[in-house]
């Protein structure tokens, strides 16, 4: 599932063709994705102007001039692809419709944004902009890790007294929003912290390293266009490249990249997910 860097990359790709533009026609080609679409969704979107395109955690939020906000979640395999408008250095012609093109926005500018989702784990919803933060999917989210609300004091307070492993704690979206398995593994490696360590035992020094590592790994991933492992594509259809810079994720048995370590990357299963780490330099 796309994590914060992938969703932020998609947002940045969509913003030039959506922000300030009118949705001339919205086509909804099925009644639902993960959940049913909101009532009269096509009619509520057609003719609306997109005032701003935001991201909250792993969700895209398009604020409309009708006092409503469109929430978009990419799910496991969702892609939002742009055609008919310059994206980066290229202009992509409108492709032939595909089987899993479930939602299509034709913009007044001539651009088209197509939401394609073979597995249909994605979701869309419409909500009042004024109360968007109270939506059930957003209400309990923690601070954005690249925002001012995420800092050492917050993380220390959130982890205080927790007996759960730090890996599981960082996947809790109430503690910090947008992190998933890939970037938690990578951040823990950069911070030199074992995924087995109890969340409440980190102490100020480790918390400081971890806070910085989370910010740094997310910034690096965004700069690389995210990580493409299976279905993820940027808005222009290109792959992300951060997977080529993974230090631990998916590298079981490979040598540790930390200079002078000499260890090998190991894998363990925590909460039904694989954790990758170096047992020698992560404590």
Residue-wise pLDDT for 168-195, tens only, equals 999 999 999 999 999 999 999 999 999 9
Give me 151's structure tokens. 């800092």
As to burial, measured by CB atoms within 10 angstroms (0-12 exposed, 13-18 middle, 19+ buried), residue 207 is buried
**Would you say residue 240 has pLDDT above 60?**
no
- Reply yes or no on whether 2 is catalytic: yes
Q: How many CA atoms within 13 Å lie on the side-chain side of 9?
A: 30
- Reply yes or no on whether 273 is catalytic: yes
- Reply yes or no on whether 3 is catalytic: yes
Query: What separation in angstroms does the CA of 87 have from each of 84, 93, 228?
Result: 9, 11, 19
Report the DSSP pairing between strands 23-28 and 59-64: unpaired
Q: Which listed residue (56, 58, 112, 190) is catalytic?
A: 58
pLDDT at 92: 63
Pick the CATH number of 4-134 from 3.20.190.10, 3.30.70.20, 1.10.260.40, 3.10.20.30: 3.20.190.10
Domains 4-134 and 152-277 share a fold: no
Percent of the chain scoring above 70 in pLDDT: 92
- Reply yes or no on whether 58 is catalytic: yes
**Would you say residue 76 has pLDDT above 90?**
no
H/E segment holding residue 155: helix 152-159
Q: Which listed residue (44, 267, 273, 280) is catalytic?
A: 273
**Would you say residue 230 has pLDDT above 80?**
no
State pLDDT tens for residues 15-70: 999 999 999 999 999 999 999 999 999 999 999 999 999 999 999 999 999 999 99
Could you tell me which CATH number the domain at 152-277 has?
Answer: 1.10.8.50
User: Using CA atoms, how far apart are residues 137 and 108, in angstroms rounded to an integer?
Assistant: 30
**Would you say residue 231 has pLDDT above 90?**
no
Question: Residue 23: CB partners within 8 Å, gap ≥ 6?
Answer: 45, 46, 47, 48, 49, 50, 105, 106, 107, 108
226: confidence class by pLDDT, cuts 50, 70, 90: confident
Q: Where are the domains of the chain?
A: 4-134, 152-277
Pick from 83, 138, 107, 118: nearest CA to 23 = 107
């Amino acid at each position: 599932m796309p994590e914060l860097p992938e969703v932020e990359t998609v947002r940045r790709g969509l913003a030039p063709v959506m922000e300030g533009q009118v949705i001339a026609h919205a086509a909804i080609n099925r009644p639902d994705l993960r959940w049913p679409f909101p009532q009269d969704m096509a009619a509520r979107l057609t003719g609306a102007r997109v005032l701003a395109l935001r991201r909250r955690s792993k969700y895209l939020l398009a604020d409309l001039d009708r006092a409503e906000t469109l929430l978009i979640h990419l799910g496991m395999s969702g892609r939002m692809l742009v055609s008919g408008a310059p994206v980066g250095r290229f202009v992509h012609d409108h492709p032939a419709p595909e089987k899993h093109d479930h939602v299509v926005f034709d913009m007044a500018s001539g651009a088209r944004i197509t939401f394609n989702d073979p597995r249909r784990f994605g979701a869309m919803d419409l909500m009042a902009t004024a109360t968007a933060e109270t939506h059930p999917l957003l209400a309990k989210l923690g601070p954005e890790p690249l925002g001012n609300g995420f800092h050492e004091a917050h993380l220390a307070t959130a982890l205080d007294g927790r007996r759960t492993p730090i890996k599981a704690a960082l996947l809790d979206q109430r503690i910090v929003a947008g992190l998933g398995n890939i970037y938690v593994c990578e951040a823990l490696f950069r911070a030199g912290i074992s995924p087995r360590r109890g969340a409440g035992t980190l102490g100020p020094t480790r918390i400081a390293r971890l806070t910085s590592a989370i910010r740094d790994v997310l910034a690096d991933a965004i700069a690389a266009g995210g990580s493409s492992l299976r279905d993820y594509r940027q808005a222009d259809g290109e792959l992300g490249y951060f997977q080529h810079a993974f230090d631990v994720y998916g590298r079981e048995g490979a040598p540790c990249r930390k200079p002078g370590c000499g260890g090998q990357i190991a894998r363990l299963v925590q909460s039904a997910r694989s954790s990758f780490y170096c047992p020698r330099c992560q404590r």
